[in-house]
Amino acid sequence: MLAYCLVKTGEPNKALDLFDNLPEDLLIEDDKLGVSCLAYILLGNQNQVNKHLSVLESKVSNPEAIQSHSYLFLVYVNLKRFDDAVKLYENTIAGRSPIFMISLSDPLASDMRNDRRYQLIHNKTYRVKANDLDEEPKSQPLLDEPTSLSYTNKLVSYMEQETPYLNPDLSLRHLAELIELHPNQLSWLLNTQLDMNYNYFVNKYRLSHFKELATDKSNSHISLMGLAFESGFNSKTVFNTFFKKETGMTPSAYLKSKTK
């Protein structure tokens, strides 16, 4: 995905370098083949384009090679070979492959939209009906207003008094059980009443707990990550990313600002 994004943002050399520096066992052959071909198109390296294109074309005879179908379609579009792209689409869709549900709307297929046949292909792929475009009715709330308020208060009270967030393995399902609520209802409650998802909700409490521990001088002998783990975080990356997003600074910089 990173290599794909590098191609899309006009950095094909970085995409190719990325492939060169990754172990082969981490790569899916067709992904590397397809993205590399797209990168060489941007670089104007026709010899490499022809080499990769030839392999892609040889693979599409296998109806199960859906990645090859997808990348070959994108390659044809980026080479402005729209006739070949349409022919590939017709052959693939005849085999009832679902790949064009994704490929046709792919950002790297945007040039296809300038072709007069694009709208026909689009309509055939997605089969949007006129009444499907009408505004869908709003879904019914999972809990009525009094019940929502009651469980919101219960949830917040439980988090503050019982501190379940200190358990690094706490899951949405487990938390729902603790407050006697269905997991779907808890997820709905967090999104609609508190305007946040489960991970953000729990990590906010963990972050607050960490700040209390970190600014307590009696904990100065414990590392910041040690305090983070005691606060319920189970990943250094998640902790540092969340901390910086919420405070705008690193944990060490934050602590330094509090001890001046």
The pLDDT mean for the chain works out to 84
Give the separation between CA 175 and CA 206, rounded to whole angstroms. 15
In words, the CATH class of domain 2-133 is mainly alpha
| pLDDT tops 80 at residue 138 | no
Average pLDDT, integer, range 85-111 = 73
Amino acid at 69: H
Average pLDDT, integer, range 185-194 = 91
Domain ranges of the chain: 2-133, 145-258
Select from 161, 159, 153, 157 the least CA-distant residue to 193. Answer: 153
CATH superfamily of domain region 145-258: Homeodomain-like (1.10.10.60)
Return phi, psi of residue 218, to 5°: -70, -10
CB atoms within 10 A of CB 74: 26
Buried b (16+ CB within 10 A) or exposed e, 199-209: eebbbbbbbeb
Going by pLDDT thresholds of 50, 70 and 90, the confidence category of residue 18 is: confident
Place of tokens 């609520």: 181
**Phi-psi bin for 136: left (phi > 0), alpha (psi -120 to 50), beta?**
beta
What is the model's pLDDT at position 243? Answer: 93
Average pLDDT, integer, range 169-187 = 94
Output helix, strand, coil percentages for the chain, rounded to the nearest 5. Answer: 70, 0, 30
Topology match between the domains 2-133 and 145-258:
no
Place of tokens 């296809």: 112
Give the separation between CA 248 and CA 239, rounded to whole angstroms. 13
146 contacts 189 by C-beta, under 8 angstroms:
no
Going by pLDDT thresholds of 50, 70 and 90, the confidence category of residue 146 is: confident
Which of 20-29, 81-90, 108-117, 147-156 has the highest mean predicted lDDT (pLDDT)? 147-156
Give the separation between CA 226 and CA 218, rounded to whole angstroms. 14
